């Protein structure tokens, strides 16, 4: 089992280009697994972890409702935002500047074959990271992601998640609001959940800007511990 994960920070990159890149990496792992099975080989499958920040974009998961986007095509253009229907789970979400997006493209057979556990570990890596900033957060039953104020009238989401998996290979991932312009979330019903707010780490800490490189380092530390993995820059 290969527990080394190749880390790539793509910087600010167009959503569609990144999606296509993810698909290429994902397909490469799946094809290698098929070849191993067909030819009775034991070639090592790679794992990847992509960090990226996207220009403003709204994405709708395969089970989502397009009515949760509250903008017309012209209004999207006016805001300099784009919209894509994509092949992950979940409903609608927003990606944009000031948000740390992580796409783990893993062969879970290198770690464990349990999608539920995988999602919980993604959440836990974010929860542990936020706790280092003194932020009390956790899970909301039936709602994937990381929340603050669960069970109160002030419940608010700080990290959205949605994944795709096939043959135990994952893609898509999480989006953690760190220094985000929360006004963009007013144009959607986030994750299709009415009546609950969205927040960002800088807002919760009462500061203008949080060091995103520091947040990334903390996420990687907790991710590596949970998955018993090592990261290698590529």
Instruction: Concatenate the DSSP letters of all residues of 169-231 into one string.
Output: EEEEEEEEESS--GGGGGGB-GGG-TT-EE--HHHHHT-S---HHHHHHHHHHHHHHHHT-EE
Section 63-67 average pLDDT:
81
Q: Tell me which architecture the domain covering 4-233 has in CATH.
A: 2-Layer Sandwich (3.30)
| Res 88 pLDDT > 90 | no
Of the listed 29, 105, 189, 191, which one is catalytic? Answer: 191
| Share above pLDDT 70 across residues of the chain, in percent, rounded to a whole number | 97
| Res 53 pLDDT > 80 | yes
Binding residue ranges for substrate? 88-95, 160-162, 173-175
- The number of residues making up the chain comes to 234
Residue spans of the domains in the chain: they are 4-233
Q: Is 49 left (phi over 0), alpha (psi -120 to 50) or beta?
A: beta
Q: How far is residue 93 CA from its own chain's centroid? A: 10
Higher pLDDT, 222 or 1: 222
Helices (H), 40-113: 73-78
Structure tokens at 94: 């927003």
The H or E element that residue 27 is part of is: helix 15-39
| Res 76 pLDDT > 90 | no
Question: What is residue 131's predicted lDDT score, i.e. its pLDDT?
Answer: 98
Instruction: Let me know if 191 is a catalytic residue.
Output: yes
* Distance of alpha carbon 174 from alpha carbon 93, whole angstroms: 11
pTM here is 0.93
Helices (H), 40-114: 73-78
DSSP 8-state code for residue 112: -
Section 182-198 average pLDDT:
74
With cut-offs at 50, 70 and 90, classify the pLDDT of residue 144: confident
| Res 190 pLDDT > 70 | no
Question: What is residue 193's predicted lDDT score, i.e. its pLDDT?
Answer: 54
């Amino acid at each position: 089992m290969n527990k080394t994960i190749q880390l790539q920070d793509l910087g600010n990159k167009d959503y569609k280009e990144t999606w296509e890149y993810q698909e290429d990496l994902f397909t490469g792992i799946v094809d290698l697994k098929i070849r191993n099975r067909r030819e009775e080989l034991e070639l090592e499958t790679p794992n990847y972890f992509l960090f990226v920040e996207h220009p403003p974009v709204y994405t709708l998961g395969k089970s989502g409702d397009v009515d949760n986007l509250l903008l017309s095509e012209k209004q999207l253009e006016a805001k300099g935002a784009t919209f894509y229907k994509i092949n992950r789970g979940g409903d609608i979400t927003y990606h944009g500047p000031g948000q740390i997006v992580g796409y783990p493209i893993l062969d879970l057979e290198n770690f464990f074959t349990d999608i539920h556990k995988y999602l919980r570990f993604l959440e836990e890596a974010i929860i542990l990271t936020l706790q280092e900033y003194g932020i009390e957060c956790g899970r909301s039953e039936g709602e994937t992601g990381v929340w603050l104020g669960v069970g109160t009238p002030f419940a608010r989401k700080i990290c959205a998640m949605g994944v795709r998996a096939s043959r135990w290979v994952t893609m898509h991932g999480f989006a953690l609001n760190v220094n985000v312009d929360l006004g963009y979330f007013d144009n959607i019903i986030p994750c299709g959940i009415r009546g609950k707010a969205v927040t960002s780490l800088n807002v919760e800490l009462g500061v203008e800007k949080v060091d995103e490189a520091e947040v990334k380092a903390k996420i990687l530390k907790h991710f590596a511990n949970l998955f018993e993995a090592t990261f290698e820059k590529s």
